[in-house]
Structure 1
Amino acid sequence: MRSLTLLCLLFCLSLTVSFGQNTSEKIGYVDQQLIIERMPEFKKLNQEITLKSQQYEKVLKGKFDDYEAKSAALDKLVAGKAEQMILRDKALELDNLKKSYEEFEANAMKELREYYTKKFTPIKQKVNEAIVFAGRQKGYSFILRMDLNPDGGDMWPVVLFARDSTSNLSADIMKNLGIDSTAASARKIGIPQMLQQK
């Protein structure tokens, strides 16, 4: 079904381009995720994230074990009818351990996300630049990435590279809808379109 959808899409795009411009346009697609996953930088990033995660998990396990031990000790004190002042002190200590665990867990997740984003951004940028370069070098008009439709059903295309913006119909559509289209032409579309011309 995926290949049939892709073929239909490519056929429709090629018809639109052929009738609209009366020229032969090349349209290609890439498996961007596969490219990223094969990059040594991405493999290294995954190893770093795994190592950091394991270190954080050890700390969290230590905090959890400490909490469990002190919780069991408090239960014994309650069962032994210890003094209220001692019970309040141990309950406060237990509450602080729980807060410490939750705070460390939240901070660890935040740090991992920020670290991943910081390291992944240049990797994705490098892949996007390579896609744009390949598109220009091979004379493609469009390069697409096929993504799963989040609403279910067929795959849908994401344009990663467009040779030029002459095919942008946004201003015409906005005009037909009675919307001011003066700002439409200056808008950048997609990450690769923000890259400087090579």
Structure 2
Amino acid sequence: MKKLIVLILFLGLTVTMSFGQGNTEKIGYVDQQFIIENLPEFKKLNQEIAVKSHQYEKILKGKFEEYQTKSAAFEKLLADKSEQTILRDKAMELENLKKSYEDFESSSMTELQNYYSKKFTPIRQKVGEAVIFAGRQQGYAFVLRMDLNPDGGDIWPVVLYARDSTSNLSRDILKNLGVDSTAASTRKTGMSQMLKQK
């Protein structure tokens, strides 16, 4: 039954399932990545990252070219058997250039990651709230996102919205596993655990 539900959801259909005494529960799924990629603010963020990356690449290229030029000059000094004082000075200069390149490469990548994370967080929050709103508005019991299993095989459904937690089987599963549990988990399911109830 589980594989059938996953297969139907993967095909992009909305499923209506019957549970027990005639209750009908709607389950839907969203392509969250498609939604995010089509938001103007996400497109703008990608453009900003591309511009910043290009600027950093130009600076890194300049640093690398300077290093190559001074490295060639150092090799010539070595071949000409220049004085040790000059060689030490030029070797130190090369080491400082290399360190400057590596430091800038590392700090620019960190800055880009931090910038992306800071700007992406409200986008993800906005989509999460929109998923919950749509799920409530249209009477869905669950809204899922389908993820590929990193180990291969089946697709994993990820719950983005659950209307309630009355179907929590955690306690029963622990009992079946021989663990005495006096209370079921009270954690919220899906995205709603991170977003305030509206």
Alignment partners' CA distance in 1, 2:5 and 2:195: 32
Q: Deviations over 1:42-100 (max 9, x none)?
A: 00100110111011111101110110000000000001111111111111110111011
Deviates more, 1:169-178 or 1:111-120: 169-178
| Residue type of the alignment partner of 1:53 | S
Offset, 1:154: 2.8
- Do residues 97 (structure 1) and 100 (structure 2) align? no
- Measured after TM superposition, the shift of residue 18 of structure 1 is 1.3
Displacement, 1:172? 2.0
Which residue does the alignment assign to 1:74?
74
Please tell me the residue identity of whatever aligns with 1:86.
I
Question: What is the CA-CA distance between 1:27 and the residue it aligns to?
Answer: 0.5
Partner residue in 2 for 1:193: 193
Instruction: Report which stretch shifted further, 187-196 or 113-122.
Output: 187-196
Cα distance change, pair 103–180 in 1 and its aligned pair in 2 (3 A): farther
Alpha-carbon distance, 1:178 to partner = 4.1
- Alignment partners' CA distance in 1, 2:50 and 2:9: 41
Distance 1:175 1:122, change over 3 A: same
Q: 1:52 to 1:9 in 2, by over 3 A?
A: closer
SS at match of 2:135: helix
Q: Deviations over 1:111-146 (max 9, x none)?
A: 100110000000000000000000000000011111
The residue that corresponds to 1:18 in the other structure is 19
Question: Which structure 2 residue ranges, 5 or more long, are not aligned?
Answer: none
The 1:172/1:14 distance shift into structure 2, 3 A limit, reads farther
* Mapped partners of 1:163, 1:112: distance in 2: 37
Let me know the Cα RMSD of the aligned residues.
2.5
What SS does the aligned partner of 1:25 have?
A: strand
Q: Alignment partner of 1:141: what SS?
A: strand
Contact kept, 8 Å, 2:63 with 2:97, in 1: the verdict is yes
Whose strand fraction is larger, Structure 1's or Structure 2's?
Answer: 2
- After TM superposition, the score normalised by the length of structure 1 is 0.88
**Normalization by structure 2: what TM-score?**
0.88
SS of residue paired to 1:161: strand
Q: How many residues align?
A: 194
